[in-house]
Amino acid sequence: MVTGVNIPEAGDLDAMVAAIDHLPFIVAVFEGPELLMVAANAATRAVLPGRDFLGRPCREVLSDLVGQQFVDAYHEVYRTGEPITGRQWRAHLDQPDGSVHEMFATFTIVPWLAADGSVRGVIGAGFDVTEQARARQAAETEADRLRRRYEQSRDVVTELQRALLPSGLPVLPGLQIAASYLLADADTAAGGDWFDAMARPDGLVALVVGDVVGHGITASGTMGQLRAVLQERLDDGASLTEALAAADRFARRVPAAHATTVCLALLDPGSGELLYCTAGHPPPLVVSAAGETRFLPVTGGAPLGTGGAFPVQQDRLEPGDLVLLYSDGILERPLVALPSPPASTSLPLSDSAPDSLLSSSATELARVAADAAAGRALRDPSATVAERVCAQTIELLVRAGGHADDITLLAAQRVTVVPELVLERAADPASLRGIRVELGRWLTALGAAEHDAFVLQHALGELTTNAIEHAFSGVSPATTEPRTIEVRAVLTTAGRVEATVSDHGGWRAPERQPIRGRGLALTAQLVESLRVEPGENGTVATVRHPLNRPARLLAGFDDAPRTPEPAVLLIAELPSDDETQVRLAGPVDAASAAHARQELLRRSRGGAVPMTVDLTGVTHLASAGVSALFQIAEQHHDQKATLTLLAAPGSPAREILDLVGLPVTP
């Protein structure tokens, strides 16, 4: 490494300058603390035409490079005595005609040492590598274009795969289901793996994992057709053999479906009875509540379209047991030795499992699945056991050695049935928050996804608000009977929440009051169905809404932390320290909407001055809050003042504001 250069003293400097003038690369010599230029060869003058060089400071000679780090580099070498090297640095140089020339330089700046070893100046030597840099840029641009084209084509197949797979998995009484799908780690598009879980009218739950041979659009399209065939037959009450026979007939007609493997199971969540068939597919893995594992015996079924039969075998899951269906990508991944567990924690495999499964990959699968189920792997308290098994098993097994094929995992665990929710509360707006909290706890116990919990809490919040307002409408004022409402909710075997809100008053049509009047309309938009039945003893409002938990098409393994919900509505000023720039956080419901309306109108002088309201932190925006915002917007409109509502996409407030048509800024 060059650390410094000794140049002859002044007597021989002229000869040195004459010599370096013929060098075919850029050379510039600067002297003293001001770095006065004392020499520049012809190559240097060619890239810096029309400049006055000699005797002038570096910052003047290279004034157009002051902000481009070159001048700083010269001074840094003089200060430290340490050389600096740059590779293909881009530079913009001012030309005599006013234009700007772009060039790329590879250079080295070294200290010029005096006879006593002190730093006398600096010497810069460089090459104009603009042509090489342009060629590199062109190659990178072309490579990037090809990469984007490839990724776009792959994304099309991936999106097709996503569209053909279930959008969610049913939340069912006594059963928690989860699935994860990880795309191949190779340069191939999504393959033909698929999973499915469906609640049948007879109360049984069908579980399916299949694998179509190949990758790309053909495999994905074939997968979608096979899934539709099995889904239609299973929903119609067909047995396992009948459903697989229908899929087999399809595979004989469609070459792309030939040799598709399937593991199909029917599970009774109540009794735990499990019927299953492995049509050329690896058999299910059972993880017991005690952490023991066993692979079920293969049934001997042949892949679809190959002319074989589909025998069925039976097993039984005890409460707490989990059954895992998977594609062979989790077994065929490159093996990386994992630490062996202690003998006391060995995980026995079924003696009936095939020899090919009694391998390192199967042993690791069983061990890691058991660790994930028991919570001994990664910490994820918000996930169900089935979700931990599906997500963490994939992550822990593939992160060291990768995987060449798609991997699909589908898990179902027998759990305790969550009892019906029954709440009887005073007909008072102060009861609303407590009802919402109890409903949230019940939905969490069921395993409801965040969006479904949001929908049902909002919908039932509107109905309970309505019920409270006319709980005893039409009842004699002399009555001493306590004013109460009742909320009931149950999860059906079809995976739907059926909830009723009852009062003891007479029906009143919705009123267009300042902060009321939109509750039923908002509820009807949120849930699958709404029915209101007035009667002699009161009004009963019923909502039905399916519960689904999303499956995971994995590209990573990180989850955003949840933010706890504020218990009460908070109104605070934004950092601008202006009382018309405010942030709301917490619930805006019938109990708090009037206060929010009053406070916002006070701060905006009754709508006379512009105002900004950030609603991103609002956790529950009821129709009372929506009506309050509409009234505030009308006040501002009448007085020609601007009202800006802010709500981040995906936030609870944004979803409601989009439903009701209030303009909002992301």
| Mean per-residue pLDDT of the chain | 83
What pTM was computed for the model? 0.65
Q: Is residue 138 in a domain? A: no
Burial tier of 143 (Cβ tally within 10 Å: 0-12, 13-18, 19+): exposed
Query: Are 402 and 433 members of one domain?
Result: no
pLDDT at residue number 505: 63
Highest mean pLDDT among 44-58, 270-284, 589-603: 270-284
401 and 431 belong to one structural domain:
no
pLDDT in tens, 203-215: 999 999 999 987 7
- Please count the CA atoms within 13 angstroms of the CA of 210 that sit on its side-chain side: 38
- Answer with the one of 128, 157, 185 that is the final residue of a domain: 128
pLDDT in tens, 640-665: 899 999 988 888 888 888 888 888 88
CA-based R_g, the chain, Å: 36
What mean pLDDT comes out for the span 483-493? 93
Residue 87 belongs to what domain range?
Answer: 5-128
Backbone φ and ψ for 415, nearest 5 degrees, come out as -130, 170
Q: Is the pLDDT of residue 195 over 50?
A: yes
- My answer on whether 425 and 378 are in the same domain is no
Residue closest to 403 by CA, chosen among 414, 412, 415, 393:
393
Can you tell me the mean pLDDT for 325-343? 64
pLDDT band at residue 598 using 50, 70 and 90 as cut-offs: confident
pLDDT at position 187, please?
A: 46
Which residue did the predictor score with more confidence, 328 or 294?
A: 294
In Å, what is the CA distance from 222 to each residue of 166, 181, 184? 15, 17, 18
User: What DSSP element (H or E) covers 210?
Assistant: strand 205-215
Residue 341: which pLDDT band, with cuts at 50, 70 and 90?
very low
How many other CB atoms are found less than 10 A from the CB of residue 491? Answer: 26
Higher-pLDDT residue of 357 and 619 is: 619
Q: Residue 149: pLDDT band by 50, 70, 90 thresholds?
A: low
What is the sign, positive or negative, of the torsion defined by CA atoms of 637, 641, 646, 652?
A: negative
- Confidence (pLDDT) at 514: 43
On whether both 410 and 427 belong to a single domain, the answer is no
pLDDT of residue 160: 62
| The pair of three-digit structure tokens given for residue 432, joined into one six-digit string | 């609303």
> Quick one: pLDDT at residue 490?
97
Specify the pLDDT at position 33: 93
Among residues 128, 157, 175, which one ends one of the domains?
Answer: 128
When pLDDT is averaged across residues 119-129 and rounded to a whole number, the result is 93
Residue 146 forms part of a structural domain? no
**Residues 385 and 449 occupy one common structural domain:** no
Read off the pLDDT of residues 23-35 as tens digits, 9 standing for 90 and up: 889 999 999 999 9
Model pLDDT, residue 345:
38
Residue 152 lies in a domain: no
Q: pLDDT digit string (tens) for 521-559?
A: 778 888 899 998 887 778 899 999 999 998 876 644 443
Burial 238-257 (b: 16+ CB within 10 A, else e): bebbebbbbbbebbeebebb
For 197-250, how does the pLDDT look when each residue is reduced to its tens digit (9 = 90+)? 999 999 999 999 999 987 777 888 888 899 999 999 999 999 999 999 999 999
Answer yes or no: is 238 within a domain. Answer: yes
**208 shares a domain with 96:** no
Is residue 99 predicted with pLDDT exceeding 60? yes
pLDDT for 469 beyond 60: yes
459 and 386 fall within a common domain = no
Q: Tell me whether residue 230 is in a domain.
A: yes
Q: Mean per-residue pLDDT for 593-610?
A: 88
Q: What is the pLDDT of residue 203?
A: 93
581 and 603 share one domain? yes
d(Cα 369, Cα 286) in Å, to the nearest integer?
Answer: 10
Bridge partners (DSSP) listed for residue 665:
646
Distances (CA, A) of 659 to 523, 626, 652, 655: 11, 10, 11, 6
Look at strands 119-128 and 100-113 and give their pairing.
Answer: antiparallel
Is residue 165 very low, low, confident or very high in pLDDT (cuts 50, 70, 90)? confident
> Could you tell me if 469 and 336 lie in one domain?
no
Q: For residue 431, what is the domain's CATH number?
A: 3.30.565.10
Q: What is the mean pLDDT of residues 47-53?
A: 89
C-alpha–C-alpha distance, residues 517 and 396, integer Å = 52
Evaluate whether 268 touches 204 at the Cβ level (below 8 Å).
Answer: yes
pLDDT of amino acid 347: 41
* Domain harbouring 621, CATH code: 3.30.750.24
Assess if residue 618 is contained within a domain.
yes
Looking at 526, 549, 572, the residue that finishes a domain is 549
**Average of pLDDT values for 377-390?**
86
In DSSP terms, which residues pair with 111 in a beta bridge?
Answer: 122
What is the CATH number for 120?
Answer: 3.30.450.20
Reported confidence tier of residue 456, pLDDT bands at 50, 70, 90: very high
Quick check: 13 pLDDT over 70? no
Asked if the model's pLDDT at residue 379 lies above 90, the reply is no
The whole-angstrom separation of Cα 630 and Cα 539 is 28
Which pair of structure tokens corresponds to residue 475?
Answer: 């009842």
Note whether 25 and 43 are within 8 A (CB).
Answer: yes
In this structure, what are the phi and psi dihedrals at residue 522, rounded to the nearest 5 degrees?
Answer: -65, -45
Residue 141, SS3 per DSSP:
helix
Within this chain, do residues 214 and 190 fall inside the same structural domain, yes or no? yes
Q: Is the dihedral of CA 523, 494, 390, 227 positive or negative?
A: negative
149 Cβ contact partners less than 8 Å away, ≥ 6 residues apart: none
The answer to whether residue 471 sits within a structural domain is yes
Number of domains in the chain: 4
- 245 and 102 share a domain? no
Residue 556 in any domain: the answer is no
**What CATH number corresponds to the domain at position 318?**
3.60.40.10
Q: Is 333 exposed, middle or buried (0-12, 13-18, 19+ CB in 10 A)?
A: buried
For the segment 267-302, what is each residue's pLDDT rounded down to a tens digit? Answer: 999 999 999 999 999 999 999 999 999 999 999 899
Residue 211 and residue 278: Cα distance in Å, rounded?
A: 12
How does 364-392 read in b/e, with b if 16+ C-beta sit within 10 Å?
bbbbbbbbbbeeebeeeeebbbbbbbbbb
Q: How confident is the model at residue 337 (pLDDT cuts 50, 70, 90)?
A: very low
The answer to whether the beta carbons of residues 317 and 274 sit under 8 Å apart is yes
Based on the fold, state whether residues 353 and 450 are members of the same structural domain: no
Cα(406)–Cα(403) distance, rounded to whole angstroms? Answer: 8
Q: What is the 3-state secondary structure of 435-448?
A: HHHHHHHHHHHHCC
How many Cβ atoms from other residues are within 10 Å of residue 487's Cβ? 22
pLDDT of 616 > 70? The answer is yes
The torsion angles phi and psi of 262, rounded to 5 degrees, stand at -145, 140
CA distances from residue 255 to 231, 252, 258, 436 in whole angstroms, order as listed = 21, 7, 5, 54
- What's the mean pLDDT in 451-471? 86
Report the b/e string of 598-611 with b at 16+ CB within 10 A. Answer: eebbebbeebeeeb
Furthest CA-CA distance within the chain: 121
Return the top range by mean pLDDT from 133-142, 262-271, 452-461.
Answer: 262-271
Assign 501 to helix, strand or coil: strand
Higher-pLDDT residue of 150, 666: 666
Percent of the chain with pLDDT over 70: 82
Q: Tokens in use for 36?
A: 């006065």
Cα–Cα separations (whole angstroms), residue 74 to 17, 118, 292, 555, 664: 20, 16, 69, 46, 53
